[in-house]
Amino acid sequence: MNNLAVGDQPLVSVLMITYNHEKYIAQAIESIVGQKTGFRFELVIGEDCSKDGTRNICERYAAAYPDVVRLLPTPHNFGMMPNLCRTMPACRGRYIAVCEGDDYWTEDLKLQTQIDLMESNPDVNLCFHVCREWSEADQAFRETRMFGRTQYGFRDFAGRGCFIHTCSILFRNLPEITGRFTEWTYSLSGGDYLIYLLCTQNGHKALAINKVMAVYRLHPGGSWTSLTNWRRTQLIENDLVIYHQNLRLNGREKSLLNFQLKRVILGYLNYYFSVKGPGKLKRGVIFLFNRIYFIFGPGRLSSFLALAVYPIIRKKATIAEGIKKELA
């Protein structure tokens, strides 16, 4: 129940960016406007000039739920990160939840559950929960795994990357978090990982809820799932450079974040061997690298290893890419 007066400041803003989500957007919006809460919330939709019927559907819901839905249309396409950066400042709530236009929530007490947790833990900036993954290719749900702990921090996100789903998060609308989403983020592959890092910097913790309350959809048109492995590797590499250049990381946090270079190195190794090397050699090298890397864990030793190996592997993969293009 969204029971505060229309003019009151919302406690939660649900941030939704959407582009060409005609098949999914109605289900996403319905799952949000149907939330049962004891506080006021809003849904802020950054519609990025879709080529299909997404905007028309959003306009219908904005007209049907004027006290909840705020539509931010645009006359031209911004792109994912610029669209996120224009939508985030429009969120007026003390907290921000996220649901992109191709995902949806399955629990009508999701927002209330997360707010109750955050209000009772004022030193925590982020909470998240378990999601189910729907694969359109398989037309089936994938296995759902619960979290092994209830508390996570910067080290976990630096080491494991994006191990949570964007449609599960709720975080505090603080200048040191949302205020960082400016022009320097435009070249990032996405904004979710940046949120996790900003929320857990300087010793802040994130809390997990072991309950399924949303569905993350895997489909060919997804911003990440539609990419080749080569392109994903390049984007991860680019993201890490941008983070190191623009985030205010201390020495320990820089070393921890360098653990993500493992994904870049493995991406380039896989590509190199797909062009140049036999299967057994590929498996042996990757197994050995993984074994050593995980023995070190996130920190100075793994950072040193990654920084030493990365330029060599990158050069070999780039040469292999050039050969492949010449032969094509």
Reading the chain (328 residues) residue by residue, the pLDDT tens digits are 444 434 579 999 999 999 999 999 999 999 999 999 999 999 999 999 999 999 999 999 999 999 999 999 999 999 999 999 999 999 999 999 999 999 999 999 999 999 999 999 999 999 999 999 999 888 999 999 999 999 999 999 999 999 999 999 999 999 999 999 999 999 999 999 999 999 999 999 999 999 999 999 997 765 666 677 788 889 999 999 999 999 999 999 999 999 999 889 988 888 888 777 666 777 788 888 878 877 888 888 888 888 888 898 888 888 877 766 655 5
State how far the Cα of 105 lies from the Cα of 91, in Å rounded to an integer. 19
Sign of the four-CA dihedral 271, 277, 279, 285: negative
CATH number of the domain located at residue range(s) 12-218 in this protein:
3.90.550.10
From CA 75, how far away is CA 73, in angstroms rounded?
Answer: 7
For CATH 3.90.550.10, list the domain ranges present in the chain. Answer: 12-218
Whole-angstrom Cα distance, residue 146 to residue 90? 33
Overall pTM surpassing 0.75 (yes/no): yes
To the nearest 10°, report the CA torsion of 280, 283, 285, 288: -130
Closest CA to 224 of 215, 212, 234: 234
- Give phi and psi for 151, each to the nearest 5: -130, 135
